[in-house]
Amino acid sequence: MESVVPPQITAELTQILSNLVLGDNEIRASAEKAVNERLAHTPELYLLALSQFAITADTEVMRSFSLVLLRRLLFRPAPTAPSQPHPPPGARLTLYDHLSHQTLGTLERLLLFSLSHETSSNVRRKSVDTITDLANQAMMRGRPWHALQAQTFSMTHAQGAEAGVDGAGQRESAYRIFAGCPNLVMDLQIDAVLGVFQRGLQDQESIEVRHAALLAAVAFLSAADSTQLAQSISLLSPMLDTLPPLANALSQPPLGSTNSTSSSDSSSPKTSNYHYLSTFLSTLTPLTSTHPILFAPHLQSLLSFLPALILPPVDCGPTPTVGRPFPTGGGSRQGAFIFPPPDSSSSSSSADEDGAPSSPIEEDEDKDERSTLRLSALEFMISLSEARPNMVRKVSGWTEIIVRACLEGMGEFDEEETSGLEAWLKEDPSVASSSSETDSAPSLYEQSLDRLACAMGGRAILPPAFQYIPSMMASYDWRVRHAGLMAIAAIGEGTGKVMLKELEKIVDLVAPMFSDSHPRVRYAACQCIGQLCTDLEEVIQKRFHQKLFSVLIPALEDPEPRVHAHAASALINFCEGVERDTLLPYLDPIVERLLKLLNPAGDPALVRRYVQEQAITTLAMVADASEVTFAKHYPMIMPLLLNVLRNADGPDYRKLRVKAMECAGLIAIAVGTDVFRPDAKTLVELLMHIQQSPPDPNDTQLGHYLIATWAKVCQAMGPEFEPYLPIVMPSLLATAGAKADLSLYHEEDLEQADEREGWETIVLDGQTYGVRTSIMDEKCQAFETLVIYCSTLGARFSPYLAQTLEVTLPCLRFYFHEGVRESCAMLIPMLLSCGKQSNTLTNQMVSTTFLQLINCISAEHDSTFLASLYKYFSESLRVFGGPDALSQQFHEGIIEATKRQLQSLADKRKARAARAASHPGDFDRDEMGLVEEMEDFALEDMGKMLAAFDPDHPLLVAVSGVRDLGFNTYDSDEDGEEEG
């Protein structure tokens, strides 16, 4: 192909790109600067040179790099030359937008040449990615790429080898382009499109082509409108027909994988049908969420082959003996519910087809592929169940097979009995590395069971689950017993309403497991009870507190630290839903054992810090639940906590110190001012010392806990806290007044935006921003603390009234954090009350406050916060004796704002009703019902405010009229989701 740029440009670009891929940071930075300079001055020339280099470069690496770089550069904001003024962020166009029609045409021609002539499949995929990006962006700008459409359709018919590219490779690339840019086919006749897709799905030569066609078909159906979707229902049959041949040939060589790659890729590892079937299922899974109804006619046929994929192969392995109850070797563990094991003559061997033994690496790879396939098939079924529970509920056996598969998978721990247990017992569960367990296969099966229970409800899940769980609890294998307990914990949330009827049997089933011989089973028993106390809060505590305490309290003395720490953690869940009178009879033995964990006798070197941290946390919760009755234990506990605060220095003790701060504050509140008073000064001095110490940049929790503990001390001391306000208020007001740390994202940054740790994305005025969440959370906590100070101290808070109002009023419009706005709205009537009681409130403060409230009410779009604004506006009025205290100007202002909100809410509800009538299939009544429930709260608070002005206010009729425009879907039976 003839060159489109001068040779010297090509030579210069070659050198720049070579420097970009070097590991030397200085050379690479210089190359990046050179790229930006040339793009600022002559973007067209260098973009064309880059696209030409993607064709002519000698190595695959450089051709791939050229295509990736071209894709990144085209749609980033165009760099400006030093002499040019910098435009505002929102006005910056991309490099693509600066290119002439002639350059765009040449660029497209070069990329199409690369697509049809590239011999390496790896480079060709980069070409596909760049082309689909270019096509999508061009269509968004009203520039269709007809040549791409024509060439892609032509490539779907490619046979043999053309220009050094085999036909299968060209067909695969064509379907991948359709997958990446479904708009290419959206304006064509449906029959022609379906014919092309069906031909690719049935390609006999290459499995890669079939997979690419499947990607394209899923993208097309996902992007289709309701009319196109109705005309394309027949496409799902050939899509699903790609699965059974793979499922029936798992142990055979890949079906139709010849000649799909070039010789340059011959060294790539072989790919099995296990991998391909996993990939095909994962490709189909998103469609189960977007258009689940498409699968309705195929559920029975799916059920004919999916169970074999999600259930483990039965392989009994060596026979257990008394001396060796958990023998290893022989392949997969037997099914969780099969004992004694069946005849193992049909079990798989560890030899290949020629009888030669497989290597350990090959066995591990095979095992991983089988595991991935099981989880992929399970994810397909779970996603479909979540999207349309009523649809799959009608298919006999569907739910039952998923439940069994999850229970089987939860018991498949891949570890040696002795070494695995020792590692688990030594592990510190509080460190981040131990969270890797959540990514293990048993944990993934557990999460799947949880999701299924939440989707299907108790009537569908509990019968098949408890067909197996009781026998699992009696299994000889600790892993199966562990799985049974974790299963009960997993399904509690989704099946709670139905589980309540059988709760006594469940508690009787779980309680004996606290005495199990295996520590991981005892740990699971703690987890199970703790989770049930959260999911069935108050009910389980009220009905079965005696049985639960009889197992939880002794578990605090379990010989294994991980177990007794988890028992203490489960007690927290219990105390969160317990009545004070229920807890009191058990208070002494609980505190006695927790104190032993916090301050154990014996060798200090053997003390586990995470156990002490958990003991302190649980003591705090127990104190909070038992309130003043905790006073008898105060003399033993508070000195220990103060001692921790004195001595817990250094990075290893960060968590212990903040937990001690939190516990001391909660205990102080629980026992009251009189009991706490003798230690109040000591605790305050320790907090002051910690606050004034040089900051540790790696201690990200200290600031949060300091603010929270000061607030608790204020609540405990009441008016006696007033002298300490000068210590806490300056930093608190500074935190409350902090500006949002914003980062404007351009379009090419959005893919990385969601992955940026510690940041969230929001959209304001059409622009996407990143917001640093830590600053926002601290700001919210600061306002919540101001609420505590002001409500506790009343008139004594008045020295800080003006400063607090100055910070609070603007933050009613702080759209970056809902919690900040809520706290500010709640704080306003308290500040007004403080000022009135102390005679420090000026007319300027009052008028400014009501003006800001009325303006916010008038302009607010969030119905949830609108309800809060009306509520706290009414409370602010009551501070001054009611509506009569409001000047005529503000009286008229709030009525006008209310009329505006009523009109806005009425328009929204009418528009929803019209949309529901015209597009019933695209309308989610449950979601809209939730939206309107929030609006009803706003209407309710609006009505209360109007009634305070006049019980017969004419706008009250309008409030009722707007409420009647809603769907009122939330008046139905709570358990309705489990019907059908």
- CA distances 372 to 215, 276, 310, 364, 389, Å, are 19, 11, 10, 12, 25
Q: Nearest Cα to 516, choosing from 570, 462, 568, 480? A: 480
Instruction: Indicate the DSSP class of residue 700.
Output: -
Query: Torsion over CA of 673, 676, 679 and 685, rounded to 10 degrees?
Result: -60
- CA distances 91 to 72, 463, 701, 745, 959, Å, are 19, 61, 40, 13, 43
Helix 478-499 and helix 458-473, axial crossing angle in degrees, nearest 10: 150
d(CA 78, CA 46): 13
At residue 457, φ and ψ (nearest 5 deg) are 85, 170
Q: Nearest Cα to 859, choosing from 812, 908, 912? A: 812
Residues sharing a CB contact under 8 Å with residue 161, sequence separation 6 or more, in sequence order: 167
Residue 58 covered by a domain: yes
Question: Residues 126, 181: one domain?
Answer: yes
Residue 634 covered by a domain: no
> Is residue 874 within 8 Å of 948, Cβ to Cβ?
yes
The distance of Cα 569 from the centroid of its chain, to the nearest Å, equals 24
pLDDT for the residue 82: 45
Q: Nearest Cα to 821, choosing from 763, 861, 874? A: 861
196 token code pair: 């092309």
pLDDT for the residue 743: 64
Q: Nearest Cα to 216, choosing from 261, 167, 246, 171? A: 171
d(CA 331, CA 820): 56
Helix 503-510 and helix 519-535, axial crossing angle in degrees, nearest 10: 160
Tally of CB atoms within 10 A around 952: 8
- CA distances 802 to 655, 785, 842, 844, 881, Å, are 36, 17, 10, 11, 22
Helices (H), ranges, 77-206: 95-98, 101-117, 121-140, 146-155, 167-180, 183-186, 190-201
Helices (H), ranges, 333-457: 360-387, 389-393, 398-410, 417-426, 441-456
Residue 952, helix vs strand vs coil: coil
d(CA 414, CA 332): 9
Question: Residues 489, 382: one domain?
Answer: yes
Q: Which residues of the chain have pLDDT under 70?
A: 1-2, 5, 21-24, 78-92, 162-164, 255-270, 313-364, 415-419, 432-437, 602-606, 741-770, 919-925, 967-980
Give me the DSSP letters along 803-862.
HHHHHHGGGGG-TT-HHHHHHHHHHHHHHHHHHHHHT---HHHHHHHHHHHHHHHHH---
Q: Which of 495, 523, 543 is at the close of a domain?
A: 495
Residue 691 covered by a domain: no
- CA distances 270 to 8, 256, 266, 362, 978, Å, are 43, 13, 9, 11, 46
Helix 843-859 and helix 801-808, axial crossing angle in degrees, nearest 10: 20
- CA distances 497 to 449, 492, 573, 791, Å, are 17, 9, 19, 39
Q: Largest alpha-carbon pair distance within the chain?
A: 96
382 token code pair: 């779970």
Q: Which of 228, 263, 282 is at the close of a domain?
A: 282
Residue 562 covered by a domain: no
Give me the DSSP letters along 39-56.
HHH-HHHHHHHHHHHHHH
pLDDT in tens, 933-976: 889 999 999 999 999 999 999 999 999 999 888 765 444 333 44
Question: Residues 160, 302: one domain?
Answer: no
If you count them, how many residues does the chain have? 980
pLDDT for the residue 398: 95
* Number of domains present in the structure of the chain: 3
Residue 230 covered by a domain: yes
Query: Torsion over CA of 719, 720, 726 and 731, rounded to 10 degrees?
Result: -70
d(CA 345, CA 333): 15
57 token code pair: 């470069």
d(CA 454, CA 490): 10
Question: Residues 246, 287: one domain?
Answer: no
pLDDT for the residue 222: 92
Residues sharing a CB contact under 8 Å with residue 360, sequence separation 6 or more, in sequence order: none
At residue 371, φ and ψ (nearest 5 deg) are -65, -45
pLDDT for the residue 819: 92
Helix (H) or strand (E) holding 761: strand 759-764
> Is residue 817 within 8 Å of 864, Cβ to Cβ?
no
Question: Residues 63, 207: one domain?
Answer: yes
d(CA 749, CA 772): 16
pLDDT in tens, 627-640: 888 999 999 999 99
Residue 516 covered by a domain: no
Question: Residues 295, 239: one domain?
Answer: no
Question: Residues 232, 376: one domain?
Answer: no
694 token code pair: 């040089």
Is omega for the bond preceding 678 within 30 degrees of 0, making it cis? no
Residue 890 covered by a domain: yes
Give me the DSSP letters along 438-465.
GGSHHHHHHHHHHHHHHHH-HHHHHHHH
Residue 341, helix vs strand vs coil: coil
> Is residue 75 within 8 Å of 94, Cβ to Cβ?
yes
Query: Torsion over CA of 8, 14, 15 and 17, rounded to 10 degrees?
Result: 140
Q: Nearest Cα to 614, choosing from 575, 552, 663? A: 663
Range 286-292 contact pairs with CB under 8 angstroms and sequence separation of 24 or more: 286/218, 286/222, 286/383, 287/218, 287/221, 287/222, 288/380, 288/383, 288/384, 288/387, 289/383, 289/386, 289/387, 290/221, 290/222, 291/221, 291/222, 291/229, 292/384, 292/387, 292/388, 292/391
Question: Residues 406, 454: one domain?
Answer: yes
Question: Residues 304, 189: one domain?
Answer: no
In DSSP terms, 760 is beta-bridged to 771
d(CA 196, CA 232): 13
Whichever domain contains 144, its CATH number is 1.25.10.10
Question: Residues 115, 68: one domain?
Answer: yes
Give me the DSSP letters along 202-228.
T-SSBHHHHHHHHHHHHHHHHH--HHH
d(CA 493, CA 46): 58
d(CA 615, CA 591): 9
Residue 98 covered by a domain: yes
Question: Residues 120, 169: one domain?
Answer: yes
Question: Residues 48, 173: one domain?
Answer: yes
519 token code pair: 């520590």
Q: Which domain holds residue 395?
A: 283-311+369-413+439-495
